[in-house]
Amino acid sequence: MKNILVIGSTGQIGSELTRELRKNYGNENVVAGYIPGAEPTGELKESGPSAIADVTNPQQIAEVVKSYHIDTIYNLAALLSVVAESKPRLAWKIGIDGLWNILEVARENHCAVFTPSSIGSFGPTTPHDMTPQDTIQRPKTIYGVSKVTTELLSDYYYHKYGVDTRAVRFPGVISYVTPPGGGTTDYAVDIYYNAVRGDQFVCPIQAGTKMDMIYMPDALKAAMMIMEANPDKLIHRNAFNIASMSFDPEEIYAAIKKYKPEFEMVYQVDPLKQSIAESWPNMMDDTCARNEWQWKPTYDLDSMTKDMLEKLTIKLGC
């Protein structure tokens, strides 16, 4: 990777990935793509170039790619799971029509493309424990349907046109930097904010509901490692299971209580979020990622909890 375009650079993952890519590849070599109304601000704006890059406008994407001599595109434009359910047509327009536009631009300009998939690409008939790399994917949400389509379309462009497409299936991503924005796993971010503020947490997910999670530094590491991986070693491409930790609300609550013994949590289950959560894996088997490009996470639940509480205490001034 030499010249990189991050589409969706102001989103939940994109804002942090853009900063991390600039640290690794140079500020001027990473373009923060955004849409009007979601412009980069602060460090993201000041540290490197930015450009309007709307996935629904292929001419615009092509112009940015040519202007900045882009060779790698990180496509992070998507609606999160809960939001997508309320806006299914928009979710498809951004996630799939937008991807098609990007892949065409990549084909014409010889770019590599990373478009993440998710645990949401699986469904209730998928094996939930140690979910295999290659298994049944029959999701019940438009978010999941779009992610499965993303994987298939990306593989199609690789086999048909030789476009270097690669991806990982992200678990729920936990971060202290970017506030949650409408995902099923967002409770695992909100709970830390409440703990630091000293507020009782009302959990929307039922006790005993395990889900795969990953701390943002590990998610960013995976996104960069897969694009740097030796293509000759890749048996799979779109998309690799990656795993880091799996827990239910009781377990994350217990982890926080070690540092915040006065912290309290009660349950008020959200039916939509709960139904989505129950259809997702408890834990993915990431053997292929470990074997094919040496994936290995750094954080577990306890080390993440310690870091989240420390960082949020500083951020919130508590």
User: What positions carry a catalytic annotation?
Assistant: 143
Q: Are 118 and 147 in contact (CB under 8 A)?
A: yes
Q: What are the φ/ψ torsions at residue 166 (nearest 5 degrees)? A: -145, 155
Nearest in space to 239 (alpha carbons), one of 68, 88, 121:
121
Taking alpha carbons only, the member of 292, 294, 151 closest to residue 232 is: 292
Q: Residue 89, Cβ neighbours under 10 Å: how many?
A: 8
Vertex 281: Cα angle to 153 and 300 (nearest 5): 110
Using an 8 Å Cβ cutoff, are 48 and 28 in contact? yes
Alpha-helix runs per DSSP H in 162-248: 187-197, 216-228
* CB neighbour list of residue 224: distance below 8 Å, 6 or more residues apart: 20, 21, 24
| Separation CA 84–CA 282 (nearest Å) | 22
Q: Using alpha carbons, list the distances in angstroms from residue 172 to 66, 120, 129, 231.
A: 34, 9, 16, 27
Tokens describing residue 307: 């870091």
Which among 255, 265, 252, 269 has a CA at the least distance from the CA of 206?
269
